[in-house]
Amino acid sequence: MNDRIVSYSEKLLVVISSFTKNMMSVKASLDVYDALLKTLRSFIKIKDSVFFKYNEGIGRFESINASAEFFKDKEFNNLALWIAKRGLPSIQPIDERDFLFIPLNKNPKILGLFVAELESSLDVIKQEDMDILNFLTFQTSLVLENVSLYEQLQEKNEILENLYRYMQTILDSMDYEIAVYDKELKTTFENKRFKASEKLTQEVLDAVKNLARKTLETAESQILEFENLVDGESVFYSITTFPVYFNFQDQVMVILRDITSTHELERLRKIDEMKNQFVATISHELKTPVTAIKAYSETIIDSLEDIDKETLKDFLKTILDQTEHLDNLVSELTDFSKMESKMFELNKEKFDLLELCHNVIESLQELATSKNVELLFDEIDEKLIVEADKRRIRQVLINLIENGIKYSDKTKNERFVKLKIEKGENEILVIVEDNGIGIPKDLKEKIFERFFRVESYLTSEVSGTGLGLAICKTIVEKHGGKIWVESEPQKGSKFFFTIPVRGDS
């Protein structure tokens, strides 16, 4: 026993905290035994231990991690049965050695048995130690029962199925072939396009499997461009893989794209670096809501019985929020992927920019009010007809103003975002000014790069793909304009962009 621990309550506290910590990471029955062993070692010296499962059919205990002969004899089994039926921890002298038995039951069902050889002599076992052993027996049985239930539950549980269906909808809506492979390299999931693509040759499937295997081995994302000769014609594929933890095991998600028709091969080679970044950011960004959804769903499943309605509602609200967040991420991604695949076309029309500005301000008023930010519009007294893609320009305005609101400085009493328009000879200058947290000097250029987020340096409150400003930049430049920023940390930022008056870019 640990000599440094003086009082009973102190010892109990140490054991309970060690128990909680050890049980936290438990995923399967075997983990429960390991966690119990670790906890016991925090206050008793243990030489060796054996875990038993109970085979109800033949009424015998079967060890899962050792095969010592004397654990197999009948006398031992009778002893073990006696202890299991009694449901209390017991220390048994066997052949001059002392063995601690911890029975794990869910009355009247025997779940298992933990046996450890003790180092210390029996006589020094104290009442409080046996009390703690009682406590551990009881609590571990509960955990083991829950884990076993959980293991049974996972296949049929509705919440998980809904989550699965939801994921499937997202993945189905994507423009690529997506599949998930398990450790045996069998698909456990195929999205619509993957299912429908019958023309995939054996060579392509083999390449996919090889890459999946490599991903499983390295636990890292892989990217491969693959050329396949079909009837004498080259077909190019881009294959991207991610390690995913799905259905409680390590699996691989594969994204397959036919890049022949869009002549993407050349371009993909150039932006290989970018793709790596893409993969990293996306997996990170998707992980946050998915982890939250998973954690809350698991909590709900685990404690469905004793969770009250209010808490359940809270949890489901969080799941819904995170789902919406996921939804936003996916739509930004869709935009971005359109740009990347050059499917991004402008739909130019003539419209009044002032009217659009009013419209945008109006639609963001609610958000601004909720964040205590005042929205100002410094307009001019003149119609501003431009020829541009109205929907895209609106997107740029919304993005810039929304950023101004999101990154407002909470320490300031008066917070504002001001939209201002100046008419030049050949172009119109739009300015979005705020007194928010500002952007450090050395980051001013980077914020327009893909995936860059100022808040990863300044605040963790806002999250996103970091694609917003990159999308703005693409839109503005596609119109033949320019976009830039002036900013001072703590004081605020001023974003500028220009649109040529005559839409002839």
Neighbouring C-beta atoms of residue 20, cutoff 10 Å: 12
Binding-site member from 55, 78, 152, 201 for another protein (CB under 8 A): 78
Smallest separation (angstroms) from another protein to the CB of 59: 14
The edge-to-edge listing of strands for the beta sheet with 416-423 is: 374-378, 416-423, 427-434, 492-500, 483-488
Closest to another protein by CB, 3 or 231: 3
Cβ atoms 375, 340 nearer than 8 A? no
Smallest separation (angstroms) from another protein to the CB of 157: 24
Is 289 exposed, middle or buried (CB count within 10 Å of its CB: 0-12, 13-18, 19+)?
buried
* DSSP letter for each residue of 214-273: HHHHH-S-EEEEEEEEETTEEEEEEEEEEEEEETTEEEEEEEEEE-TTTT-HHHHHHTHH
Site for another protein in 83-102 (CB under 8 A): 86-93, 98
Quick check: helix, strand or coil at residue 376? strand
Closest CA to 496 of 459, 457, 448: 448
Smallest separation (angstroms) from another protein to the CB of 19: 14
Tokens representing 190 are 């195929």
Smallest separation (angstroms) from another protein to the CB of 138: 4
Is 140 exposed, middle or buried (CB count within 10 Å of its CB: 0-12, 13-18, 19+)?
buried
Closest to another protein by CB, 87 or 503: 87
82 binds another protein (CB under 8 A): yes
Distance of CA 77 to the CA centre of its chain: 46
Q: Which helix (H) or strand (E) holds 19?
A: helix 8-24
d(CA 243, CA 226): 20
Peptide bond into 108 cis (omega under 30): yes
303 binds another protein (CB under 8 A): no
117 binds another protein (CB under 8 A): no
Site for another protein in 151-210 (CB under 8 A): none
Closest to another protein by CB, 82 or 457: 82
Closest to another protein by CB, 107 or 347: 107
Closest to another protein by CB, 35 or 83: 83
Tokens representing 392 are 């895209």
Smallest separation (angstroms) from another protein to the CB of 131: 7
Smallest separation (angstroms) from another protein to the CB of 208: 51
Contact map string, positions 119 to 148, toward another protein, x by CB under 8 A: ---xxxxxxx-xx--xx--x----------
Closest to another protein by CB, 74 or 269: 74
Smallest separation (angstroms) from another protein to the CB of 242: 44
What is the per-residue burial (b if ≥16 Cβ within 10 Å, else e) of 85-117? eebbbbebeeeeebbbbbbbbeeeebbbbbbbb
Closest to another protein by CB, 120 or 169: 120
Closest to another protein by CB, 98 or 182: 98
d(CA 502, CA 505): 8
16 binds another protein (CB under 8 A): no
Binding-site member from 3, 56, 69, 75 for another protein (CB under 8 A): 75
Smallest separation (angstroms) from another protein to the CB of 143: 14
Smallest separation (angstroms) from another protein to the CB of 145: 10
Closest to another protein by CB, 36 or 400: 36
72 binds another protein (CB under 8 A): no
Quick check: helix, strand or coil at residue 481? coil
Smallest separation (angstroms) from another protein to the CB of 105: 8
With contacts defined by CB under 8 A, how many residues of the chain interact with another protein?
28
Q: Which helix (H) or strand (E) holds 473?
A: helix 468-478
Site residues for another protein per CB under 8 A: 8, 75, 78-79, 82, 86-93, 98, 106-107, 122-128, 130-131, 134-135, 138
